[in-house]
Amino acid sequence: MGTFEPVIVAFVCNWCTYTAADLAGTSRLSYPTNIRLIRVMCTGMVDPQYVIKAFLEGADGVLISGCHPGDCHYINGNYKARRRIKLLKEILPRFGIEKDRLRLTWIGASDGIEFAEIMTRLNDQIIEMGPSQTRLNKAI
């Protein structure tokens, strides 16, 4: 029986992180395939509802990855995202969704290698945490 393959949803910003993802692809770096990338224009547009929806639908981990502070194409989208993730990291653990299942990272346009490493590290940590409780019984 293979190890448990987590379902991880990654909201990836169209500018720096997506460029790094493409770079990881073209430089043939392999990273876990069970991470589903959803391209958003900016991490600032990731509504807390998207994260809640992902967890309630059975995601074991949610990653939000955007540009380094100061690199954001829209100047301050990433700062606003950071505050929303801080809010969610206060609310979700209250209901049993461990703090480390929701992650926020900054990835630069030429950090292809780092992108692949982060994806693998995230995947290993979520495997360690085991399946999320919503996968076993869905929230009503």
Euclidean distance between the first and the last CA atom of the chain, given in angstroms as a whole number: 30
Cβ at position 14, least distance to another protein in Å? 6
Query: What letters, b where the CB count within 10 A reaches 16 and e where it falls short, cover 53-70?
Result: ebbeebbbbbbbbbbeee
Q: Length of the chain, please? A: 140
CA triple 105-17-41, angle to 5 deg: 100
Cβ at position 1, least distance to another protein in Å? 15
Q: Which is nearer to another protein, 77 or 127 (CB)?
A: 77
Cβ at position 27, least distance to another protein in Å? 7
